[in-house]
Structure 1
Amino acid sequence: MRLNDNVNLLSKSLDAYSIRQNAINNNISNSNTPNYKRKDVEFDKILKEMTNENEINIKTTNTAHIGNNDKNMNLEPKIIVDKNTKSRLDGNNVDIDVEMAELSKNYIKYNVVSQQITNAFKRYKNAISGGGR
């Protein structure tokens, strides 16, 4: 694992949560628009599937090398349209209460990942400066 792989993965997570924030805001803004279908961003499920896979693809240039799995660099969030949720009479399926709860969950996830990136850079700084000698 390269030194910055963790930060890259966390950065992709921040991007996904930012995109999800925009999707939720659009849902809230269009809560009274007839025939509007709510949108969501699928990222956590993709990340979980990627980390739970049993097969690890290792890329090496020499049989004596220990490889690195670069699949997380291809990790991209997917915007999905929710057509399964029951619609109101006007065809809109946005529930403000659900959207506000999702907004709060997304805010917490974003802040946790942001804090993890901050802590990673503090560790790098500490390592570079000699660990506080």
Structure 2
Amino acid sequence: MVAKLDDYLRFNETALNLRAQRQQLLASNIANADTPNYKARDIDFAKTLQGAMDGKTTKVPPVELARTSAGHIAGKPAGDSGIGGSPLLYRTVTQGSVDGNTVDMDVERNQFTDNAVRYEAGVTAVNGQIKTLLAAIQPG
């Protein structure tokens, strides 16, 4: 019974998790709009969601950072393994900048807003699913 409920809600749960992670990535792009040589990153959401639903997400093993002294603190690798096992992609540059930064604020704000609206739509869909389940189990 619980497995059927999990299956019923799995798509929206996965989509919402990926949308939340993508929102963080887009916010990072916006926050680094003035950072020299920063390259804007994103994911192919449809491909990532399809891979997650098919169970084909592959976790890339983290890269060990070399320490040249025993006194060095072990660092964490950069988060280039992507979201949901899907690799992070570089945003296509429409207009280059002198400092090498590829963040286009118009594109980033548009993607950020679009992702936020789709996240809210996903939350609404989950609420609808839960209301349907509640209506089905209540007497009368």
TM-score (norm 2): 0.68
| Counterpart check, 1:105 vs 2:114 | yes
Residue 78 of structure 1: SS of its match in structure 2? coil
Which blocks of at least 5 consecutive residues in structure 1 are unaligned? Answer: 51-70
Which blocks of at least 5 consecutive residues in structure 2 are unaligned? Answer: 58-83
Residue 124 of structure 2: SS of its match in structure 1? helix
Q: Which runs of 4+ in 1 moved over 6 A?
A: none
Task: Name 2:18's counterpart in structure 1.
Answer: 16
| Counterpart check, 1:90 vs 2:99 | yes
Q: 1:5 to 1:25 in 2, by over 3 A?
A: same
Residue 81 of structure 1 deviates from its aligned partner by 3.4
- AA aligned opposite 1:72: M
CA RMSD of aligned residues (A): 2.3
Residue 77 of structure 1 deviates from its aligned partner by 5.9
Deviates more, 1:86-95 or 1:103-112: 86-95
Alignment of 1:43-122 (within 5 A): 43-47=45-49, 72=53, 74=55, 76=84, 78-82=86-90, 84-86=92-94, 87-122=96-131
Residue 44 of structure 1 deviates from its aligned partner by 1.9
TM-score (norm 1): 0.71
Residue 43 of structure 1 deviates from its aligned partner by 2.1
Q: Quick one: distance in 2 between partners of 1:125 and 1:103?
A: 33
